[in-house]
Amino acid sequence: MKNIKDVYKSLACKLNYPHIPESMLKDIKGPVLLHISDTPSEIYNGIFKIIDILKPQYIIHTGDLADNIKLEVQKDRVNSYRNRVKELVEGLERNDTKVYYLMGNHDNYEAVCQITKNGTILEEGLLTIGDYSFTAGHYYKEYSYKADFNLYGHSFVPGHYKKDGTIGLNGVLNINIIDLSNKRVFHLNYPNCTNRLRRMESKKIGL
């Protein structure tokens, strides 16, 4: 049974869905790639609403799929983790969306492998999607090969960056939207309570 604090946290997130500005919708031409990371299960419905609106052709999740369950230190909660991740995977893999899952330190590869039907599970690596190349992993890493985008999560740092032709995007800081027609990047804020559910302290990071 949930205690009062857990119920409050859950309701707060459900009532605070990310808002997509009308101007952003007009500017996005598509196809769309959505990048998310370190997602507590309480915000899944907000993510699904964004997917319903944007209808991304690709989604990259850079790890910790159910980030309110710290599986690395709470190994006895694997069944709870599996139930939450099942909910997420079913929501992400709707509408024939191509989904890539990068395993985080609080993820269970075998559980995700059993749940996903159409997704691709990776630890880290180089992807080619459309006309662009992507390096992706749960942790920030400087790769020896150059890519158009570097996607990562796990920590607030480093923030988003542009360096030597590579655009780095931190999926902890924002829900990142990439317009694959022109390489434009848009950012959406997670619900206000997300970092509390992640058990991470809020910090402001410069772009």
- The verdict on residue 154 lying in a domain is yes
Q: What span, in angstroms and rounded, lies between the C-alpha atoms of 127 and 130?
A: 10
- The verdict on residue 33 lying in a domain is yes
pLDDT 10s digits, 32-59: 999 999 999 999 999 999 999 999 999 9
**Predicted confidence (pLDDT) at residue 65 exceeds the cutoff of 60:** yes
Which of the four pLDDT bands, split at 50, 70 and 90, describes residue 9? low
Q: How many domains does the chain have?
A: 1
In the prediction, which pLDDT does 1 show? 46
- The verdict on residue 143 lying in a domain is yes
- The pTM of the full predicted model, rounded to 2 decimals, is 0.90
Q: Specify the CATH number for the domain of residue 110.
A: 3.60.21.10
Please state, for a pLDDT cut of 90, what percent of the chain lies above it: 79
Distance of CA 54 to the CA centre of its chain: 15
pLDDT 10s digits, 134-175: 999 999 999 988 999 999 999 999 999 999 999 999 999 999
Q: Indicate the burial class of 1 (C-beta count within 10 angstroms; 0-12, 13-18, 19 or more).
A: exposed
Q: What span, in angstroms and rounded, lies between the C-alpha atoms of 61 and 138?
A: 9
- The verdict on residue 61 lying in a domain is yes
Q: Indicate the burial class of 132 (C-beta count within 10 angstroms; 0-12, 13-18, 19 or more).
A: middle
Which of the four pLDDT bands, split at 50, 70 and 90, describes residue 96? confident
- The verdict on residue 204 lying in a domain is no
AA letter at 162 = K
